[in-house]
Amino acid sequence: MSVLTEFPATYSPLPLRHAGIAGLGMYVPEQAVTNAEIAKRVETTDEWIASRTGIRERRVTRPDEASSDLALIACRQALEDAQVDPAELDLVLCATATGDYVWPATACILQDALGATKAGAFDLSAACSGFCYGLATATGFIQSGMMEKILVVGVDTLTKHLNWDDRSTCILFGDGAGAAVLTPCAPDEGILSSVLRADGSGLKSVWLPAGGTRTPTTAETLESGRNCLQMQGKEVYKFAVETVPDVIQEALDKACLKPSDISLLVMHQANIRILESAARRFGISMERVAVNVDRYGNTSAASVPIALRESAEQKRLKRGDIVVTVGFGAGLTWGANVIRWNRDY
Ligand code: UT7
């Protein structure tokens, strides 16, 4: 008999210490591009974009601005909010699909710029689910006792990978960064549960076909637009509406909580109709749903932490509140975290 099968079925490990969010930060580029401005370039209208997606404008980086420039500002704000010195960090974890370079990791650029002299650093690739994946990963490191202080940043500059002549995608995305500092916290507070899922058979539902080792960049890939984001919008919409409620319910079950316990639902901001659909399914009023898709569009890995920071600034986060974060996107990937908020804002 193996060692594992000798444990009784009811065996549960000793309670692990918890990890909580000690500080939050965000940054979006200065330049706002309205729907009306996009309508000057492609055949669309402000009315079509606003009614189908909820988006009114998005922020776009300058040509000389890269993902780490945005992330660095968000990281510094989160560290200040948490009153953590960069030199105390054990890890810089950057969730991004749009790193400064193909390699090395953007997290290493941040580690150096911040002066996180005793931290490890790596990037995590889970597209729009990246921040939720990052929270789960950082929680594991802290719960196990391996690390104490971790900076998780979600950043994307997808506007650099858009075909601005493709009206089915160029209207949707914006750039931004959001960061959180995780530290050990009291039992029963902080991240109570995480659920991560993937379905790689949906690879081509939303992807960037060329520029990797499968299809390196050539004059032909550039000419045919394969170095730009491509998406089957309807497929992704259906996937999101189906999977988001299930993953929220699963994460709540793991934390022994119910939908009515949710104080604030912080979902990936892809389309207001996806947010409304999930809220309806759980009977949650839109007052308890964080929304920034109207002002920033889909900022990929940054949307959830930006919404968290804005909720903190709006004094919508109180100690003891149950906050549920949800990500979904390319991969396909999706996931959720249930958090009992462990500080007042
Ligand atoms: O972060 C990754 C996750 N991404 C998402 O979650 C995106 C999920 N998908 C969506 O949000 C929606 O599918 C879209 C907003 C992308 C599209 O909305 P839709 O209601 O699914 O529209 P559709 O693609 O079915 O297009 C309906 C019509 C089409 O015309 P016909 O064939 O009915 O004549 C499109 O050609 O709307 C047309 N259309 C547009 N019209 C004006 C597509 N894009 C536009 C546009 N302006 N920008």
Residues of the chain with CATH 3.40.47.10: 18-187, 191-340
Q: How far apart are the C-alpha atoms of 330 and 240, rounded to whole Å? A: 11
With a 6 A CB cut-off, is 202 part of the ligand 1 pocket? no
Identify the sign of the CA torsion 114, 116, 122, 128: negative
Radius of gyration of the chain (CA): 20
Is 268 an annotated catalytic residue?
yes
Ligand 1 atom with the smallest distance to the CA of 273 is 11
With a 6 A CB cut-off, is 236 part of the ligand 1 pocket? yes
What local confidence, expressed as pLDDT, does residue 29 receive? 98
**How, if at all, do strands 91-95 and 120-124 pair?**
parallel
Give me the torsion for CA of 194, 72, 111, 114, rounded to 10°: -120
What local confidence, expressed as pLDDT, does residue 1 receive? 43
What local confidence, expressed as pLDDT, does residue 10 receive? 53
71-101 exposure pattern, b = at least 16 Cβ within 10 A, e = fewer: bbbbbbbbbebbebebebbbbbbbbbbbbbe
Catalytic residue among 35, 298, 337, 342: 298
Is 128 an annotated catalytic residue?
yes
Mean model confidence pLDDT for the chain: 95
What local confidence, expressed as pLDDT, does residue 344 receive? 87
pLDDT beneath 70, residues of the chain: 1-15
What local confidence, expressed as pLDDT, does residue 302 receive? 98
Is 75 an annotated catalytic residue?
no
Q: At what angle do helices 272-282 and 46-53 cross, to 10 degrees?
A: 30
What local confidence, expressed as pLDDT, does residue 345 receive? 84
What local confidence, expressed as pLDDT, does residue 336 receive? 98
With a 6 A CB cut-off, is 35 part of the ligand 1 pocket? no
Cβ atoms of 146 and 135 within 8 Å: the answer is no
Task: HSE, CB side, 13 Å, CA atoms: give it for residue 70.
Answer: 36
What residues contact 16, with CB distance under 8 A and at least 6 apart? 143, 144
Extract the tokens encoding 57.
Answer: 């404008």
What local confidence, expressed as pLDDT, does residue 13 receive? 53
Architecture of domain 191-340: 3-Layer(aba) Sandwich (3.40)
> Could you give the strand order of the β-sheet that contains 18-27, starting from the edge strand earlier in sequence?
18-27, 176-185, 150-156, 91-95, 120-124
Cβ atoms of 102 and 166 within 8 Å: the answer is no
With a 6 A CB cut-off, is 270 part of the ligand 1 pocket? yes
Architecture of domain 18-187: 3-Layer(aba) Sandwich (3.40)
What local confidence, expressed as pLDDT, does residue 15 receive? 57
Cα–Cα separations (whole angstroms), residue 30 to 70, 161, 208, 298, 300 = 11, 19, 26, 16, 18
Cβ atoms of 133 and 196 within 8 Å: the answer is yes
